[in-house]
Amino acid sequence: MNEIQELKDLRTKKILEKETLQRELAPYADALENYEVMQSLESNLRYELTDKKRELGYRDRDIQTLDRKIHRRKNLADHHSLMAGHIEAMTTWKNDEEELKQKRNSISTRLEQVRLQAQEDMTKARQAETEAATAYAQAVAWGDEEGEKAANADAQKAAKHLTTATEHHRRQQLIITALEQELVTIDKHITEAQSERAKIEDQAADLANTVLEEKWNEAAKALLDVGGKLWAVRRLIDRDPVALYKLDIPEQGENFRSWTCSDLSDRSNQYSLQDVLAM
């Protein structure tokens, strides 16, 4: 039976124990939630309930610990396919982001062109109307009837052109508003792509951390095996392994401990002279 299945079986056992405790405590739910009611119970029953409630908390803690261990071992067992999936997903989101940024640049360029064109069209139309009005005023001032007629005709044309330009400007503003809204939408999609890629990067980094922790532990154990043989052979030749007394290798992952010279001493007892000579 593999380690993961053993942990799953143990988790199932803890869940069943938890459910049994919950059923036993169910009739006393009010007492467990109310201090005065609890104090009114007989001391033996009160102590029993308190003990069961404590045991229930221990089961919850055990189940959570087992969940973490199972998750870690599954990740270690499947880390090649998991990492490949993370890398593929990161690449996909990165490509989506780049595509969206290109689209954004294209729309931004078009938006700036429309804005400039709209401004230029209105400026030209207003300038033409102003120039026609000025020419008409000058013709009137100089008593130039022909010039007055020509300027009046130009002013009418300029007014019509300004009306047309104003309507066109209104339509251009609608286009500008639509393009601005499209930029807002694209920016949201870019933010989403960046956020999703960041999440996957965190998952990939966490997986890499787990795998590297395990590789560290494996390398440490290999070093301890060599150290155990070194300790054994020095004992055989009556040399004190002073240089190894300061050994302190922190274990990574689930266990918060360090391997020390005590571990070397324990391992050295496993090796005979034939073992240390078989290099």
The pLDDT value given to residue 244: 92
Q: Is residue 83 part of a domain?
A: no
Q: What is the pTM of this model?
A: 0.74
239 vs 246: CA distance, rounded Å: 16
At 185, which amino acid appears? Answer: T
In a domain, 211, yes or no: no
Quick one: average pLDDT of 85-111? 95
Over residues 206-230, the pLDDT tens digits come to 999 999 999 999 999 999 999 999 9
Domain count, the chain: 3
Tens digit of each residue's pLDDT (9 = 90 or more) over 191-210? 999 999 999 999 999 999 99
CA angle 256, 258, 262 (to 5 degrees): 135
Smallest CA-to-CA distance from 247 within 273, 234, 228 is with 228
Specify whether 106 is located in the same domain as 158.
Answer: yes
Indicate if 191 and 229 belong to the same structural domain.
Answer: no
The first and second tokens of residue 240, run together, are 């004190």
Is the confidence at residue 76, as pLDDT, over 60? Answer: yes
Whether 122 is covered by a domain: the verdict is: yes
Pick the closest to residue 172 from 231, 140, 219, 125 (CA basis): 125
- Any domain includes 212: no
Dig out the tokens for 130 from the structure: 């102003």
Is 213 inside a domain boundary?
no
Residue bearing the bigger pLDDT, 253 or 33: 253
- Distance of alpha carbon 125 from alpha carbon 113, whole angstroms: 18
> Model confidence over 21-50: pLDDT tens digits?
888 877 666 555 555 555 655 566 656 777
Residue range of the domain that includes 68: 3-77
| 102 and 39 part of one domain | no
Over residues 154-199, the pLDDT tens digits come to 667 777 777 777 777 788 888 888 999 999 999 999 999 999 999 9
Q: From 177, 205, 233, give the residue that closes a domain.
A: 205
